[in-house]
Structure 1
């Protein structure tokens, strides 16, 4: 691996800081899960830079409210709202079938965390189905649009990937006891493995794919946590000295990966705090990238498994 990439930005930078002075006029972007949390601020920063942005959301009413808010704060009215339920194969297929023309920026931002054991009609565990399989089907379904003029794909993972690799023998918890946190960690590792393999396969098409961790932010993602669990999370974060971010700061690394010219031609990597992450270190338990998330054999195997699920 070549030298790790750093930028002038850091954990305190915001998405608007990262894209200040960047002109995205004529560029088309899709942000999944753009009606709450860091998805909103990622879409806002892209719109402020002049991009035409589609908010791909489950709740289109919330999406329209968000689009109106972004238009009001940026002056950019080139905002669209489209329905997308990543856990529903028909919904993903409809989105990709309805997309027309080139796509320059895709931010795979939507996700769920720590949900009770829930399965899709196919029997897939919901977090893996939503966080990985849905985004895999979406991104591969949009490949032709992405390849038309070269594009960036930003895959939002999490520091939680450190907690587990992908258990290829029992991805969907049919044999092992279900753990919401192991399931979440597994899905976030899958996000990174997907970015590695997608970039390997698509770099010659002019498509750059990278994964990222946004940092620790209080958003709607925590909706499945009990008050006790939320307090435990807060205590563990404070214990290791990690600072909570605002949604604007949480969106900064997404904006960097999605649109900053600083990363032109860069792919197959994992970023955090607006820089490429180093190897995970037990001394720093909430940062870095795990070896299991960079394993090229696991990345290739995950692609095959995901193709079979489309």
Structure 2
């Protein structure tokens, strides 16, 4: 077991994805970035392709994916940028993506997500944010486990959020069937699930050399906020002014994902949560923008979430 020493790096909130991956050679490595055609997904994919990896953009909109792929090829000179359709809310889509994948997978970046959406449900009746942000990625990652095993020392990156501080996973009513729906509580719960997934997956797969870590990218204005009004964003900015949160460029927002995916400093390290390119400190009560909640790292909650996820997807 790795010691519990907090991981620190030379990088900061200002660092970009390109700076983080500078000097790292990913030639021969195969990468999937979900949601790779928008926001920080684009810059995550660009940095990894720039380091020589074969990068597959797993996207809902293949047309947007192709445009992004051409842009990344043009800016990096790496022609190994591929596009594959993936809708995380559609279990058949996840299954067909997994079935089509052939050979090893060295890095999986679970980046796609939906934020603070109005109340919506999948055909199964699952709350949309939990279904997209957690269950879809859970099915994808567990489905790709043989490919991760085949890679040797594979890494899985779970893109969470400081919004996990808004809510633990409410196991009694995950899908808001009894309690009133609240968009940010639903989002926060799904982002806590991303961290808990990293905790349990890291534990289960450590012996196979697979490491899984979660991170928060920071505040970036992207299409992820399409359900959030300008008034709400202004309120969040005002809130964050005293809470230490700065708005980042997409290149800065992608940096922590790329660090978790590639940094030699994280070799053999799993089940942790990173922010601003360093492992996060425990969250302080009352601060909603920094640190990691104890409930997001709770091994018992992580094990329960795994069990619930398996049962939900099997039902």
2:214 to 196, 211, 214: 211
The range that moved more, 282-291 or 117-126, is: 282-291
SS at match of 1:43: helix
Task: Select which of 262, 266, 274 maps to 1:259.
Answer: 262
Report the equivalent of 1:238: 241
Instruction: Provide the residue aligned with 2:168 in structure 1.
Output: 165
Aligned position for 1:181:
184
**In the alignment, which of 139, 142, 145 is matched to residue 143 of structure 1?**
145
* Paired position in structure 1 for 2:122: 120
Distance in 1, Cα, partners of 2:94 & 2:272: 26
- 2:57 is paired with a residue of what secondary structure? strand
Q: 2:102 aligns with which of 72, 96, 100?
A: 100
Partner of 1:223: 226
Distance 1:227 1:248 in 2: 22
TM-score of the pair, normalised by structure 1: 0.98
**Paired residues, number:** 310
How far 1:284 sits from its partner (Å)? 4.1
Greater shift after overlay, 135-144 or 275-284? 275-284
Q: Which moved more, 1:99-108 or 1:258-267?
A: 258-267
SS at match of 1:169: helix
2:17 aligns with one of 15, 18, 23 = 15
1:114-145 deviation line (CA, Å, top 9, x unaligned) = 00000000000000000000000000000000
Contact 2:166/2:288 (<8 A) preserved: no
What residue number does 2:26 align with?
24
1:88 matched to 2:69: no
Assess if the C-alpha contact under 8 Å between 1:149 and 1:206 holds in 2.
Answer: no
* Aligned equivalent of 1:51: 53
Q: 1:287 maps to which residue?
A: 290
Q: Distance in 2 between matches of 1:275 and 1:203?
A: 21
Tell me: CA distance 1:283–1:226, structure 2 relative to 1, closer, same or farther (3 Å): closer
Q: Shift in Å at residue 227 of structure 1?
A: 2.3
Counterpart pick for 2:77 among 75, 78, 81:
75
- How big is each residue's C-alpha offset from its partner over 1:228-281, in whole Å with a ceiling of 9 and x where there is no partner? 212211211223242110000000000000112221111110000111111001
Counterpart CA distance in 2 for 1:170 and 1:161 is 17
SS of residue paired to 1:148: helix
* Structure 1 equivalent of residue 253 of structure 2: 250
Q: Does the C-alpha gap of structure 1 residues 64 and 242 become closer, same or farther in structure 2, counting only changes over 3 Å? A: same
In structure 2, the residue matched to 1:193 is 196
- State the secondary structure of the residue aligned to 2:151: coil
Aligned mates of 1:309, 1:86 — CA distance in 2:
15
Partner of 2:65: 63
**How far apart are the structure 2 equivalents of 1:225 and 1:167?**
23
Gaps of 5+ in 1: none
**Residue-by-residue CA offset, 1:46-88 (whole Å, 9 max, x unaligned):** 0000000000000000000000000000000001100000000
Paired residue secondary structure (2:172)? coil
- Cα RMSD (Å) of the superposition? 0.9
What is the TM-score when the length of structure 2 is the normalising length? 0.97
| Segment of structure 1 superposing worse, 221-230 or 94-103 | 221-230
**1:282 CA displacement:** 2.7
